Amino acid sequence: MRLLVIGAGALGGYYGARVVQAGGDVTFLVRAKRAEQLRRDGLQVVSPHGNFAVKPKVVMADDLKDAFDVVLVGVKAYSLDDAMSQFAPAVGDSTMILPILNGLKHIDALTARFGASRVLGGLANVSAGLDAEGRVVQFMANQTIVFGEIEGALSERALALETLLHVSGIDVRASEAIMQDMWEKFVQLTTLAGITCLMRASIGDILAVPNGEQAIFRLFAECCAVATASGFEPRAPFIEFDRKLFTTLDSPLKASMLRDIERGSVTEAEHILGDMANRARGLGIDTPLLDLARAHVAAYEIGRQRAAG
């Protein structure tokens, strides 16, 4: 199967590099500056599982002509519209589009543009970013990717994709309930992003202050209520996993949204915090802590835009 990875940032760069490392047929759709860097230095990954580098095949949007079997979309939500226009020539009648963006809103955008039959649901759990040298740096050992048909059930194409991605360095699973999985990830991410951005601190530091743990779980409860009212009540194993995740003392865990703020970059706040808050309003659910976190990051964005002129 021919795989087109959109971008070579933290998500696409990590998973795409792992498939290349295993001998897969992978091409990265990148901009000219990134293409030059990758051709010169290779795609380098710094990982707790061992550092490595690959020589990737790259293509730029103007040179994209042929359809691919799979398009892996791992861009930031605010870049999705541009990305869809760029990779559209790679989408054929049987192409699978696998988005591993944060949140849920992108599913509607992709299905509206390319048709529901081409779009899978998907999520990724990897803590990674790009450093100043353009290397993909994996901060923690997790490296999961989960996907499936939005309507449920396991399809032959999903199982074929599971085989493609079943390589060293990727914990892959084809799911019969991907929307349930995505909603649980949405709850987890919104809680993590909301509390770490609001407090401008890691989970470990938040736990170290008075009422820190209570604040984390108040926000978690708000997000769980929205999921439940939407028909996707979080399951017991997920609740237990997140309870451990959010009570690990000295944990360095923080959301990528907070890392964006620390760099002075644009965030995905409205795609994550805003979308969850809007869904809550539509369901008549009160989410005061979520609303405060959303307002906090929105105020940051106003200041960032003003400083940028």
How many domains does the chain fold into?
A: 2
Q: Give pLDDT tens digits along the chain (309 positions).
A: 999 999 999 999 999 999 999 999 999 999 999 999 999 999 999 999 999 999 999 999 999 999 999 999 999 899 999 999 999 999 999 999 999 999 999 999 999 999 999 999 999 988 888 899 999 999 888 899 999 999 998 999 999 999 999 999 999 999 999 999 999 999 999 999 999 999 999 999 999 999 999 999 999 999 999 999 999 999 999 999 999 999 999 999 999 899 999 999 999 999 999 999 999 999 999 999 999 999 999 999 999 999 998
Same domain flag for 166 and 226: no
Same domain flag for 154 and 33: yes
Annotation says 185 is catalytic: yes
Q: Which of 176, 203, 226 is the last residue of a domain?
A: 176
Same domain flag for 172 and 191: no
Same domain flag for 204 and 58: no
Q: Which residue has the tokens 């792992």?
A: 18
pLDDT of residue 277: 98
Beta carbons within 8 Å of 101's beta carbon, 6+ residues apart: 73, 74, 75, 76, 77, 80, 271
Structural domain including 188 reads 181-307
pLDDT of residue 140: 82
Same domain flag for 30 and 63: yes
Same domain flag for 220 and 152: no
Q: Which of 160, 176, 192 is the last residue of a domain?
A: 176
pTM: 0.92
pLDDT digits (tens, 9 = 90+) for 139-164: 888 899 999 999 998 999 999 999 99
Same domain flag for 277 and 130: no
CATH number assigned to the domain comprising residue 166: 3.40.50.720
Same domain flag for 91 and 153: yes
CATH number assigned to the domain comprising residue 222: 1.10.1040.10
pLDDT of residue 221: 98
CB distance 54 to 21 below 8 Å: yes
Same domain flag for 162 and 192: no
CA distance 154 to 157: 8
Q: Which of 122, 141, 176 is the last residue of a domain?
A: 176
Same domain flag for 170 and 150: yes
Same domain flag for 83 and 121: yes
The active-site residue out of 55, 185, 244, 254 is 185
Same domain flag for 154 and 190: no
